[in-house]
Amino acid sequence: MKAMIFYTVMPPEYEKKMEHMVGEQLLREALREEYGIRLEYEARSVGEHGKPFISSRPEIHYNISHSGKYVVCVVAPQEVGIDIQIHSAASNIKRILERTVPADLARQILDSPNTEKAFYTQWVLREAYVKWTGEGLSKDLRKINLEEGWYELLQIDSGYSMAVYGAKPMEIGWRQKDIRIQK
């Protein structure tokens, strides 16, 4: 089973609000290249907690994420979640950890020699998990069992953390695209 990650670097002149449009364009490219279908001809819907899916193609799953200069889109033959996060100096890591990981893990992260990396690793894993399950942030992130399903931590660039999550192991392929949005 293979998942393909399509990614792009946001042109510096693009505004932050354009990330969604770039993600949609990445999805169009991914569906065309991987499955030979055109997104504009496919019916889409959203799940109970807002996760979008292609209702006319239940065998195709996708997820999109963006942070910093990157927009990423994964397509796969099983439910999938992806998250990317730029590392930024967060003065409130301790407070965020209290809301996102169990207390014992929060202590481990805070005591880690690289607190920032450990924090962002947990963040992208938990985000990718809730995107995989379709629960979104309706789920208490502290109660996620990271032993459920399969995940892979991915390296796209220094200063970023990224993870993909699914039910079963997948081979991961990558394809960089140059996405331009007509203004």
Amino acid letter at 68? G
Give the sheet arrangement for strand 150-154, strand by strand. 80-86, 160-166, 150-154
Among 10-14, 15-19, 21-25, 94-98, top mean pLDDT goes to 21-25
182 domain-assigned? no
Mean pLDDT is highest, among 16-25, 89-98, 131-140, 167-176, for 167-176
Instruction: Report the CATH number that the domain containing residue 126 is assigned in CATH.
Output: 3.90.470.20
The boundaries of the domain holding residue 34 are 2-176
Give me 38's structure tokens.
């055109």
Question: Helical H runs in the chain?
Answer: 19-35, 93-100, 103-111, 115-133
In-domain check, residue 139: yes
Whole-prediction pTM? 0.93
The DSSP secondary structure of 2-21, one letter per residue, reads EEEEEEEEPPTTS-GGGHHH
Over residues 72-97, mean pLDDT: 92
Q: Stretch 64-72: mean pLDDT, rounded?
A: 97
Residue 132, domain member (yes or no): yes
Within-domain flag for 183:
no
Q: What average pLDDT does range 20-28 have in this prediction?
A: 96
Calculate mean pLDDT across residues 67-81. 97
Average pLDDT over residues 31-38: 97
Q: Is residue 148 part of a domain?
A: yes
Query: How many folded domains does the chain comprise?
Result: 1
Q: Residue 86 domain-assigned?
A: yes
pLDDT band, very low/low/confident/very high, at 183 (cuts 50, 70, 90) = low
Residue pointed to by tokens 């998942």: 3
